[in-house]
Structure 1
Amino acid sequence: MFVLGERVRLRAMEPADAEALWWWNHDPEVMRWMDAGYAQPLVQVRTWLEERPRNAYGDVLFGIDAPAKPTAGTAEWQLIGLVRLSGAEPETGCAELNIYLGEKEYWGQGYATDAVRAVCRYGFEAMRLHKIALTVVTENDAALRVYRRVGFVEEGRLREVFRREGQWLDKYTMGLLEGELK
């Protein structure tokens, strides 16, 4: 099953996606605004994808595919990132959104906006969520533009919870309610 946007398709992540995920997770530019954790060997990333429970209401993880660039060879679609709705519970109707694009040549061209819009539409329609929430570093202007464009609004500020380059930074908490998706 695919979740289709205007420019992207979302699909379940596969163990074959491990190498791309491993490269992205080791790229400082890709991970700049993310809580990166500790470096993992490729075999551990592959094992995580192999042993990860299948997508279910509480946690859906999608690979973001976009039309392949001519340099990608014969493939029609290329994995460019991932998006996840996690922590969903039917009792609360809420989930948390996480997204990143690892393929930098796709940055700034609307692919992230389309992926966020597609996964939110999926969350509201297929999962019957009432609210999707996220946190974002206040200095991450590109992500803020995406979230605001889709309809997310700032709901609060978490002070000095993210450390980058020796500096403590704030995060916004943002939310999107059912019916607010743009």
Structure 2
Amino acid sequence: MPWCSTARLLHLRSGAAQLDRLEKGTTGLGTADALLALDCSAERHHVGTFQVPGDVNDLDFPLPGVRLESTNVIEGDGANGVACITRITTGPGVTDYVTHEQECTYSTFGIHVGQGDRLAFFGEGQNISVHLSDCRNDVGRPGAEITIGLAVSPYRVLTIPKGVAHTLDGLGGVVTRDEPVW
């Protein structure tokens, strides 16, 4: 799959150690795809900021494959704050929960070249910003960037396809549920 990476422009987490693993073929990814991503660049251009209303759970965005989808939520009795999310997935059903401290900030973008992400956000009504940069060469506008503003909600999940770099602001006190999409 062709990738056009803005990796050199985005200060990705992987760094020199990841490049070394790519060159040695020890990452588990297709080395040819990963090295192609590092040899290519695209000019970054911001195409819009999208504020999602609190009652909207299903929405597509200008970057192909980036979307919000409704989740299946079963709420507890309200006494203990438990929400159960049932998600039917075509992947292996792997899920990570990440708890962010109040002072949490990210200074870099992350990108997955072998998988996409489905993210759900849990908290006390915090507003977060999701910054996305399309690093795929096989899309109409490589380097296109968007910002999504939304309140955390267990009723929706954000799908980010592989090859779209992402970082988030405002995650202090938020728990994210991260489900890989293969």
After TM superposition, the score normalised by the length of structure 2 is 0.24
After TM superposition, the score normalised by the length of structure 1 is 0.24
By relative contact order (CA 8 Å, sep 6+), the higher-ranking structure is 2
- The structure that has the greater radius of gyration is 2
The structure carrying a bigger helix percent of its residues is 1
